[in-house]
Amino acid sequence: MKKVIHVGVLGLGTVGSGVIHILQERREKIFLDTGYEIRVKTVAVRDLEKERDVSIDGIVLTNNLDDITDDPDIDIIVEVMGGIKHAKQSIIKAFYNKKHVVTANKDLLASYSTELLQLAHENACDLYYEASVAGGVPILRGLIDGLASDHIRKIIGIINGTTNYILTKMSQNGWSYDQALKEAQNLGFAEADSSADVDGLDAARKLAILANLGFSMNISLDDIHVRGIRHVDKTDLKVAKKLGLTMKLVGKAEMSNSVISLSVAPTLLPNHHPLSSVNNEYNAVYVHGQAVGEVMFYGPGAGKLPTASAVVSDVISIVKNMNLDTNGYSLLKEPQSYILKQDQEIFSKYFIRILLKDERGILKKITECFMNQSISLKEIIELPLDDELVEIVIVTHRTSRYQFERTLRLLEDVAGTIKSYYCIEVEKENA
């Protein structure tokens, strides 16, 4: 008789339906890999009447999460409903009931991974969350297994599919921001609350997960300097293009002797930089290890099947651990303490657009703001718009975040003349 592992799935949206689909389609292969048939017994949803785009014949549908977390037949729980409160409660309950857990929930893992991994360990259970970062790209496995022997010093990349899709479509197809966001939502890339994507929080959560694993730390989200793309417009992208630059939302974590800096920000990259050719919902992450040098992970960062493929691979890992009786040790590491790098020690070039009334001496006033903070300017471009308005685009040489932010405050004081400005960090040419 075939040995069977019963799975309960919390959530049947974009990712959940992909998980059911892959488990159905790959049943034979998974059996050959693990010696078990993986059978989905119960799926939890909010709305029992909603039409589903995957066959759920033979699967029990419930809107009571306890039907899964308390079911003694179920060995593995897949949490793909999102949110923190119910997901956290269900996962904790699962561990107390000796069930292993796979989740794609970065909101939860960014803040509670240490606590949940510890609880999993105490109950000899696994907790895997490969799909929480970069969708279908096996980057957490890469960090934990492939680079286990190395000392990771820097992680940098594009880790949000929705914003990368938006920036690509705005820049290459001339779409508006709203049009591109809507399409990213239709394609299932965006979070239930898409402000997490466009304001950079989703990328910050993923950066925290990567840095926690890469640097063995328990990083607070508050320690990440976060800016999103909500205020980016087509003109920013057009002007950047003229200067040979492409805008991407870049997450960056650096560590040296336990001093770290973490940021997520719209970043202008030279067109020949490898990250500038990562388009649509694709993600790419460079990991710098002391021994290995630079390794790049690349692939689809969001969407139904890529994400579900990472989830199902985690399920398979758990079953393989069950075969070997090695459950309870997944991803658990003793967190090291860290110190945050100060703004005075964080250097970058900057790109600024300033819209001004075209009046005598205005350019001098603007450059004085930079001189006041000893910031030297690499490029100044003046673009007359009409008789009254002029746009000035400035690219600085490398300066500290501290000096730059002081300069922004001085610029704001050039009373009544600044209508709007955008400032976007320019990344070093070699990531």
Point out the residues that are catalytic: 206
- What DSSP character marks residue 267? E
Least spacing, CB of residue 312 vs ligand HSE, in Å: 16
47 binds, among ligand NAP, ligand HSE, none (CB under 5 to 8 A by kind): ligand NAP
Selected range binding ligand NAP among 29-37, 75-83, 170-178, 342-350, rule: CB under 6 A:
75-83
- What's the rounded Cα separation, in Å, for the pair 23 and 300? 20
CA dist 256 to 253, 312, 375, Å?
10, 35, 26
CB of 421 to ligand NAP, least distance (A): 33
Which residue of 13, 301, 391, 404 would you call a contact of ligand HSE, by CB under 6 A? 301
Torsional class of 181: left (φ above 0), alpha (ψ -120 to 50), beta (otherwise):
alpha
The helix/strand/coil state of 90 is helix
Adjacent-strand bridge partners of 390: 356, 384
Binding residue (CB under 6 A) for ligand NAP from 5, 131, 143, 319: 131
Which of the residues 352 through 381 are near ligand HSE (CB under 6 A)?
none
Which does residue 50 touch among ligand NAP, ligand HSE, none (CB within 5 to 8 A, set by kind)?
Answer: ligand NAP
Options 30, 80, 91, 284; binder of ligand NAP; rule CB under 6 A: 80
Nearest CA to 265 out of 354, 203, 346, 191 is that of: 203
Contact with ligand NAP (CB under 6 A) among 101, 303, 338, 411: 303
CB closer to ligand HSE, 75 vs 197: 197
Contacts of 94 (CB under 8 A, 6+ apart): 69, 77, 100, 101, 125
Binder among 202, 236, 314, 391 for ligand HSE (CB under 6 A) = 202
Residues 161-200 that bind ligand NAP (CB under 6 A): 188-189, 191-192
Q: Which long-range contacts (CB under 8 A, 24 or more apart) does 212-215 make?
A: 212/113, 212/114, 212/335, 213/140, 213/143, 213/144, 213/331, 213/333, 214/143, 214/147, 214/152, 214/155, 214/253, 214/255, 214/287, 215/152, 215/253, 215/255, 215/260, 215/336, 215/338
Answer with the entry of ligand NAP, ligand HSE, none that 199 interacts with (C-beta below 5 to 8 A by kind). Answer: none
By CB under 6 A, what part of segment 153-192 binds ligand HSE?
A: 160-162, 189-191
Q: CB of 76: closest distance to ligand NAP in angstroms?
A: 16
Give phi and psi for 286, each to the nearest 5: -95, 135
State the DSSP code for 146: I
Binding site for ligand NAP (CB under 6 A): 11-16, 44-47, 50, 63, 65, 80-83, 86, 104-106, 131, 135, 188-189, 191-192, 302-303, 307
Binding site for ligand HSE (CB under 6 A): 135, 160-162, 189-191, 197, 202, 301-302
